[in-house]
């Protein structure tokens, strides 16, 4: 029960909701306080008016009844009836003295109005705490009872309607103010979310209030600096790649001139590893910098069948399970590169490979690359996505890996707006799932 109560009273998560709650609660409290003060003032005014009428009217009414013959007094009772009190020619209902402050003030006012000419007693009546009766005897000994029943505070029918209209107007103004205040934050969050690996998100408009314009300018400057840093990184890697090609080529020529031997084969292996590392390093840097490939509508089923056929021709067992059933809009070469990297890893470490295709509930496309290899330790599933990270198992440089295949696939997936996840399969093996948006 306590946990449920805490969940019900939980603070809203969004800034918009928090500001709205604060403003609306504050406005409702302020309006309620103002309304309470107005009602209190109206009650005070009504009490003063009633006491003033009592003081002037009771003295004259009692004096008139006292002068009239007993048999004629009854005819005048209806004429002397007022909204808050009336007269009775009987002893009334005796009881405890009035307890409320309002009733005691009215009793004192009546006693002062009669100027001590009559012995006055008062008794509380059932019902409202403010209702009471004043008892006295006229000069001929007959009883007279003044039945006082103060009316509650009169509330005009239009007042609640006006209060509701005011609250609605204030709520609308608060909503507009909070929306204007939080919209730049939403735009900034959307711009940061759209800032993918290519760093080609649209610049935020540097307009609006000074604080908003300054934040947008700072974000645009940060985006430009990051793009400059990555461009410089790509240029450095490209220059290194270009400069390494010449000595690698010279070394290969010199190895070709060597007599065939075990040492020559080791040199060949080292040179091939260096060339692969240089190529994949430049490829990874280019995926960070972003691709210029245009989007195109392709048939994913035809692409997967083509890839499976290529691997089958090379002697690798790759099968396709499921159908996409409809074309998708994507970057074909980037998608092919992602799937090739994943399939290469699965073939290298898992033997038989299964490509499972399915449609998601939201219309997205999921392509799972499954193998029956040794898998990856659970605590390493996230780290293998990092560049140049290699496991100290069969998936290491000794088997030809450079630690960039999955990193390149991850960067290209982000450029496509999708997600790439790794999970170990029941019974052994790894499942790499590529999910593309609808």
pLDDT at 402 over 70: no
Domain end among 128, 148, 168 = 148
Residue 374 lies in a domain: yes
Instruction: Specify the pLDDT at position 183.
Output: 79
Asked if residue 357 lies in contact with residue 320, where contact means CB atoms within 8 angstroms, the answer is yes
Residues 417 and 322 grouped into a single domain: yes
Q: What is the pLDDT of residues 228-269, one digit of tens each?
A: 777 777 777 767 777 777 888 888 888 888 888 888 888 888
For the segment 207-226, the average pLDDT, to the nearest whole number, is: 81
Instruction: Specify the pLDDT at position 249.
Output: 82
Instruction: Specify the pLDDT at position 388.
Output: 66
Structure confidence at residue 357 as a pLDDT band (50, 70, 90): very high
Instruction: Specify the pLDDT at position 363.
Output: 81
Residues 284 and 393 grouped into a single domain: no
Instruction: Specify the pLDDT at position 403.
Output: 65
Q: How far apart are CA 366 and CA 436, in angstroms?
A: 6
Q: How far apart are CA 188 and CA 203, in angstroms?
A: 10
Task: Tally helices (H) and strands (E) across the chain.
Answer: 10, 11
Residue 210 vs residue 418, higher pLDDT: 418
Residues 309 and 278 grouped into a single domain: no
Residues 57 and 119 grouped into a single domain: yes
For the segment 72-87, the average pLDDT, to the nearest whole number, is: 84
Domain end among 260, 292, 324 = 292
Residue 385 lies in a domain: yes
Residues 103 and 225 grouped into a single domain: no
Asked if residue 92 lies in contact with residue 147, where contact means CB atoms within 8 angstroms, the answer is yes
pLDDT at 5 over 70: no
Residues 301 and 277 grouped into a single domain: no
Residue 272 lies in a domain: yes
Residues 91 and 136 grouped into a single domain: yes
Q: What is the pLDDT of residues 64-76, one digit of tens each?
A: 888 888 888 888 8
Domain that holds residue 283: 195-292
Instruction: Specify the pLDDT at position 153.
Output: 59
Whole-number percent of the chain with pLDDT over 90: 3
Residues 43 and 67 grouped into a single domain: yes
Q: How far apart are CA 224 and CA 200, in angstroms?
A: 10
Instruction: Specify the pLDDT at position 151.
Output: 66
Give the residue among 245, 323, 325, 329 at the shortest CA–CA distance from 279: 245
Residue 334 lies in a domain: yes
Instruction: Specify the pLDDT at position 198.
Output: 56
Give SS3 for 289: helix
Instruction: Specify the pLDDT at position 30.
Output: 84
Residue 182 lies in a domain: no
Residue 122 lies in a domain: yes
DSSP of 132-173: EEEEEE-TTS-EEEEEE-PPPPP--THHHHHHHHHHHHHHHH
Q: How far apart are CA 396 and CA 65, in angstroms?
A: 117
Whole-number percent of the chain with pLDDT over 70: 85
Domain end among 292, 326, 352 = 292
CATH number of the domain to which 257 belongs: 1.10.287.130
CATH number of the domain to which 345 belongs: 3.30.565.10
Asked if residue 420 lies in contact with residue 300, where contact means CB atoms within 8 angstroms, the answer is no
Residues 24 and 125 grouped into a single domain: yes
Residues 211 and 110 grouped into a single domain: no
Residues 258 and 215 grouped into a single domain: yes
Residue 175 lies in a domain: no
Q: What is the pLDDT of residues 162-209, one digit of tens each?
A: 878 888 888 888 888 888 777 777 777 777 776 665 566 677 788 777
Residue 6 lies in a domain: no
Residues 250 and 308 grouped into a single domain: no
CATH number of the domain to which 108 belongs: 3.30.450
Asked if residue 345 lies in contact with residue 406, where contact means CB atoms within 8 angstroms, the answer is yes
Name the domain count of the chain: 3
């Amino acid at each position: 029960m306590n946990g449920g109560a805490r969940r019900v009273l939980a603070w809203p998560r969004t800034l918009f909701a928090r500001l709205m709650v604060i403003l609306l609660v504050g406005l409702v409290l302020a309006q309620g306080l103002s309304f309470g003060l107005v009602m209190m003032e109206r009650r005070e005014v009504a009490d003063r008016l009633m006491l003033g009428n009592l003081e002037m009217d009771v003295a004259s009414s009692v004096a008139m009844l006292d002068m009239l013959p007993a048999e004629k007094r009854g005819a005048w009772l209806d004429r002397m009836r007022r909204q808050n009190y009336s007269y009775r020619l009987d002893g009334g209902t005796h009881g405890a003295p009035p307890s409320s402050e309002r009733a005691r003030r009215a009793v004192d006012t009546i006693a002062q109005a009669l100027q001590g000419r009559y012995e006055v007693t008062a008794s509380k009546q059932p019902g409202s705490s403010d209702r009471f009766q004043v008892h006295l005897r006229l000069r001929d000994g007959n009883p007279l009872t003044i039945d006082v029943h103060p009316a509650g505070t009169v509330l005009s029918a239009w007042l609640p309607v006006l209060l509701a209209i005011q609250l609605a107007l204030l709520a609308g103004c608060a909503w507009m103010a909070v929306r204007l205040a939080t919209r730049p934050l939403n735009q900034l969050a959307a711009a940061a979310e759209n800032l993918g690996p290519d760093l080609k998100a649209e610049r935020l408009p540097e307009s609006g209030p000074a604080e908003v314009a300054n934040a947008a300018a700072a974000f645009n400057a940060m985006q430009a600096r990051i793009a400059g840093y990555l461009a410089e990184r790509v240029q450095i890697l490209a220059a290194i790649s270009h400069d390494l090609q010449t000595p690698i080529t010279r070394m290969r020529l010199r190895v070709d001139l060597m007599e065939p031997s075990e040492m020559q084969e080791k040199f060949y292996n080292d040179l091939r590893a260096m060339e692969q590392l240089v190529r994949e390093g430049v490829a990874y840097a280019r995926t960070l910098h972003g691709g210029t490939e245009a989007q195109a509508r392709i048939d994913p089923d035809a692409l997967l069948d083509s890839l499976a056929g290529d691997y089958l021709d090379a002697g690798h067992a790759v099968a396709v399970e499921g159908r996409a059933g409809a074309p998708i809009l994507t970057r074909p070469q980037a998608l092919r590169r992602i799937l090739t990297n994943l399939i290469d890893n699965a073939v290298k470490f898992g033997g038989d490979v299964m490509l499972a295709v399915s449609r998601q509930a939201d219309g997205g496309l999921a392509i799972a690359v499954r193998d029956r290899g040794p898998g990856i330790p659970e605590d390493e599933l996230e780290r293998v996505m990092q560049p140049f990270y290699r496991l100290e198992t069969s998936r290491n440089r000794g088997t030809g890996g450079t630690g960039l295949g999955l990193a390149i696939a991850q960067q290209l997936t982000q450029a496509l707006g999708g997600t790439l996840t790794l999970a170990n399969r029941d019974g052994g093996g790894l499942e790499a799932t590529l999910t593309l948006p609808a």
